[in-house]
């Protein structure tokens, strides 16, 4: 199940474009989901002409989508050779986690000092949906909901750019997160437990508890990074 947030391109067997929405955005969302879901593997070539045929469009919107993907670090355009899914970079993943941790901790610190039950209610609803996705072993939906959880927290700060910065920085982490959900046992329950702890800490009004809960959640990527390169060295540079 794809969660691009755009009508038209909603699953891997549906390549219909909804012309009520910008075509490059829909193609971007589809390719990004294919990359994050590891359908398009690190190092794999993405033929622009085949993508254009798949969606029934010219190569222009495909190229626009490719440019956006390249800016986020998902693909690399090699002159005279084509477009390739970037391999996973340990330094970039660790740097992204460092930046995101600092922002996410600032977010929950702010929320712990606010009395905003609406965002906590929203996060609890998302958590319930994550439980359903976890029971179905639906990694892509679970990860989409994970993003929604953090997006809801960031949005409640009232700062419009926070979510955008987090979105840009987490690009290098997304594929490793999805890989861990699929291949490492206990990841679903672990994330759910951590999300519950974050909500509880914010509810308590304790800034220190909120910072500790989010910090623990953000550092969890280290456990994944210890295993993923050993199991799939071909995915890393």
Tens digits of per-residue pLDDT, 159-202? Answer: 989 998 888 787 777 788 777 777 666 789 999 999 999 999 99
- pLDDT above 70 as % of the chain: 91
Q: What is the mean pLDDT of residues 130-159?
A: 93
Pair 31, 69: CB distance under 8 Å: yes
The 10s digit of each residue's pLDDT in 107-127 is 999 999 998 999 999 999 999
> pTM of the prediction?
0.79
Q: How far apart are CA 57 and CA 15, in angstroms?
A: 11
Q: How far apart are CA 40 and CA 32, in angstroms?
A: 9
pLDDT > 60? residue 102: yes
Identify the structural domains of the chain with CATH numbers, from first to last.
Answer: 23-85 (1.10.10.10), 90-231 (1.20.120.530)
pLDDT > 50? residue 12: no
Q: What is the mean pLDDT of residues 29-38?
A: 88
């Amino acid at each position: 199940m794809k969660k691009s947030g755009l009508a038209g391109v909603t699953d891997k067997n549906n390549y219909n474009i909804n012309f009520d929405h910008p075509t490059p955005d829909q193609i971007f969302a589809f390719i990004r989901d294919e990359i994050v879901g590891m359908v398009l593997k690190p190092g794999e070539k993405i033929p622009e002409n085949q993508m254009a045929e798949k969606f029934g469009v010219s190569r222009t919107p495909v190229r626009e989508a490719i440019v956006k993907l390249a800016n986020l670090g998902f693909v690399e355009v090699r002159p005279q050779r084509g477009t390739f899914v970037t391999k996973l970079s340990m330094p970039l993943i660790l740097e992204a986690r460092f930046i995101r941790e600092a922002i996410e901790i600032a977010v929950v610190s702010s929320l712990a000092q606010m009395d905003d039950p609406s965002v906590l209610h929203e996060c609890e609803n998302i958590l319930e949906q994550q439980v359903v996705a976890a029971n179905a072993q639906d990694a892509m939906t679970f990860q989409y909901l994970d993003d929604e959880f953090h997006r809801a927290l960031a949005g409640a700060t009232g700062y419009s750019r926070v979510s955008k910065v987090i979105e840009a920085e987490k690009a290098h982490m997304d594929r490793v997160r999805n890989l861990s959900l699929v291949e490492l046992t206990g990841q679903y329950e672990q994330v759910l437990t951590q999300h519950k702890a974050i909500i509880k800490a914010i509810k308590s009004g304790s800034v220190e508890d909120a910072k500790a809960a989010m910090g623990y959640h953000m550092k969890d990527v280290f456990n994944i990074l210890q295993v993923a390169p050993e199991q799939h060295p071909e995915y890393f540079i």
